[in-house]
Amino acid sequence: MTTVIESTWAVPTPVQLRGELAAIDLPRLVERHGTPLLLLDPARVAQQYRVLRRALPDVRPYYAVKALSHRAALAAIRDEDGFFDVASPGEVALVGGLGVAPDRCIYTHPVKKAADVAAAVRAGIRTFVFDNERELDKFAGVEDRVELMLRLEYRTPDALIDLSYKYGARPDDALDLLRAASRRGLRVTGLSFHPGSQLASVEPLLRDIRHAAMLIDCLAEVGIQIEVLDIGGGLPVPYDGAVPHVDSFVSAIEEEIRPLTRRGIRVISEPGRFVAAPAMLAVAAVVGVGRRGGMPWYYLDDGLYGSFSNVLSDHVHPTIYAYDTIYADDAVERDVVPSVLAGPTCDSTDVITTGAMLPALDVGDLVVAPFMGAYTSVTACEFNGLPKATVVVV
């Protein structure tokens, strides 16, 4: 029976944020750059990547570039001799421009243009993912230059985002798909899956590893040897409440993959959020104050179409603090009440939260939100002609 260590990772407290901000002259940065801002700490990116490597030494982590693609973040992982999960020609160009060797990259988008495959192969990338037979035709002419992994559909409805809703082959179709690849002269060396984003427990991941291991055994019985298993991502970070710490996942994962690694099967992963989210702090300013329905409304210069796009696209709810309550010289406690934070666009959908616990704010006051590195700057747009937040490397 797998033993899971009880351990949690909590939302940063105001005192903890005060400590992190002590080395940053935030008012000076705001004076220099204006707001909104995203403060990026590449050292934290590197630290999170190292945490994964130390925690799971038998699982090679390929950082999911889509989570945070800023050059400073990617360079931090490069300098850790890291590996990269890319999914578009743009991401291929980004990591290539940083001098990352193509053999340190895998191309994990299951459905792509034939031209994108050709461009990635020209760049030197060798490993690709597919999840249906029609995708195999896109590798015509490069059969001897690629190896494939079959993406499997393992539904996880209790994950924050079920990443098998859109992609993944049914496991019972795996044999037919591998034979279809073989008929085209393509070599399938691995299986991949994603257990879902922001997992509430390790159990969905363990269930998927077990099922994939059984499938590997079944394929071996008919002469098909699998060399690689990609277990995706899914490790959670704390946005508005405590989540299981990576320590509570480690022993259980190691126990499940040990029979595979003993057989020489390489296990890899695709961490994104876990590495990127803790590395960036959002800073926004109050540009308007009102009262609607008996509640204070504060209109910010960042919102759902900007850095807080993660609320819409990623279904997360970042914790937001008033800056002067966490790092004021006098450190005076102020009464807090439920408040609405709205973004700067004309769209009424642009409301970040209706329940932020905040003191009375005024125009020009700052608010800050930790854990804003993943799916924020990369998913922001310039709706209403409003620029994206400036990313400042600290």
**CA–CA dist 96, 251 (Å, integer):** 35
Exposed e or buried b per residue across 333-345, where buried means at least 16 C-beta atoms within 10 angstroms of its C-beta: eeeeeebbbbbbb
**CA–CA dist 178, 258 (Å, integer):** 25
User: φ, ψ for residue 252 (rounded to 5)?
Assistant: -65, -45
Query: Would you call 294 exposed, middle or buried from its count of C-beta atoms within 10 A (0-12, 13-18, 19+)?
Result: exposed
C-alpha distances (whole Å) from 93 to each of 97, 270, 376, 380 are 6, 19, 21, 20
Which residues lie closer than 8 Å to 182 by C-beta, 6 or more apart? 188
Asked whether 383 and 350 are in contact (CB, 8 A), the reply is no
Tell me the CA end-to-end span of the chain in Å, nearest whole number: 45
Cα Rg, the chain, nearest whole Å: 23
Which residues lie closer than 8 Å to 125 by C-beta, 6 or more apart? 86, 92, 102, 105, 106, 107
Q: Which residue has the tokens 């060396």?
A: 189
**CA–CA dist 146, 142 (Å, integer):** 7
Q: Which of 105, 218, 346, 381 is catalytic?
A: 346
Is residue 321 classed as helix, strand or coil in its secondary structure? strand
C-alpha distances (whole Å) from 263 to each of 59, 220, 255, 269 are 14, 12, 14, 18
**CA–CA dist 257, 212 (Å, integer):** 10
Q: Which residues pair with 282 in a beta bridge?
A: 38, 369
> Is 346 among the catalytic positions?
yes
SS3 content of the chain, % helix, strand, coil (to 5): 35, 25, 40
Among the listed residues 326, 311, 330, 320, the one whose alpha carbon sits nearest the alpha carbon of residue 285 = 320
Helix H or strand E encompassing 9:
strand 8-9
Q: Which residues does the annotation mark as catalytic? A: 346
